Structure 1
Amino acid sequence: MMKIDILSLFPEMFEGVLNVSILGKAAEKGAVSYAVTNFRDFTTNKHNKVDDYPFGGGAGMVLMPQPLFDAVDALRAGEYSKPRIILTSPQGKPFKQQDAEMLSKEDKLIFICGHYEGFDERIPEHLVTDEYSIGDFVMTGGELAAMAMIDSIVRLLPGVLGNDTSAVTDSFSDGLLEHPHYTRPADFRGMKVPDILLSGNHERIAEWRWKESLRRTFERRPDLLEGRDLAVQEKKWLTQFRKETEKKPE
């Protein structure tokens, strides 16, 4: 079972998220357990503060190291192995599917959710093992970022998804965006499902999905194709896509 500890000043934000849908079912199945701790409980100053003014002046308040170091020490007490300690931060490296896959193999994760202007630098430098960002934007706190990462990690745990192949075919799992999906009815208001998907020819369907996955990536996230080791067939399709783009009227 994976153990996920979350350090937050607003533990109540996680109550609904961790108890419903896939995350809740994962806990019910025994694949994961969650614990959310308010790290304000570990402050030692008489005013119960976790933040202070930055040395050298400047706007905003900075989270002090003491409460978080002590909180992590308490969570690691009695542990033989060191857990991954994840800091949510706009300065972290972009969180990708490959990171979710890597972290899903860990036994224990500790997420630190920040607030205010930022962290005392000794926290990311000496306490955490991984610093991640979920995008080039700033939020009021790290809770929502932690929720997003936890969701992407937990769904990869064995037995969590009803169909274990779902995680394998997700967007980004093989470096490409996922192919289009269709369901019944086959004809809805004149909008028809591609004939190939109704053919029953699984080999041709697999090839169509591969091609459309590549097409969608080419059209929406061409950056994902940079540095990709393209198969011969993928190179042919990309040449086709580029020609089709050139022919489109502006």
Structure 2
Amino acid sequence: MTNGRLWIVATPIGNLDDLSPRARQTLREVGLIAAEDTRHSAPLLAQAGTQPRVLALHEHNEHEQAARIVEHLRGGGDAALISDAGTPLVSDPGYRLVRAARAAGCEVSPVPGPCAAIAALSVAGLPSDRFVFEGFLPAKAAARRERLQALAAETRTLIFYESSHRIVESLADLRGAFGDAREAVLARELTKLFETVIAAPLGELAARVEADANQQRGEFVVLVAGASGEDADAQLAEGRRVFALLREELPPARAAKLAAAITGAPRKRLYEG
């Protein structure tokens, strides 16, 4: 018996009209759909005109559900993976399922479509030839600030996802790590009724969102311009200066960690030179 195929199907990030004809047809034809939240996916599947068997697949049950889906594929049935919105596996579960399907000898094919990160990048007006997708920042403030300090010298455009209950704090931390003048863009509720795209220096952007409760609602993509080459060089030079001073009193690993936290220079590069 020939194995079935696993389809990775991109779904709308807001506007249901963005479901492609090919995605609609695929969802109608497969015998099993794995969805991150079956309640959330129900309106989409109804709009697509399909009522297949639907399994919930999320970060807490992916290993168990992957085995069930692979069993279905090995029985000759096709299956589809969808996320709550956008392209599966982009800050969403699913890679374990893809690995399991491939290991079982099943074909895995994409049905491309919406992705919030790429949609935001396309309208941001920031350099898009090279970029870094960071997904969601850590929820805890200390870990979030440490991560941002490690990215402060990154020269590529940075893309983050953020939720409504952390957007004010995250913008404040971005401002602290990258400075008030760094160019940034806030893309909120893309393709939805209250879509807004605001481009401003980080200091202005953080203050504007903090002062406007309406801009704190919904789903967010935050894009930040990369550091200029001169900025990155200056930051690394300052990091090495601080590292050299701290190393006189501390073990190298501890000195490097503190120097990186103080200056934002990449910790690994502090040992060079």
TM-score by length of 1: 0.27
TM-score by length of 2: 0.26
Structure that is richer in helix per residue: 2
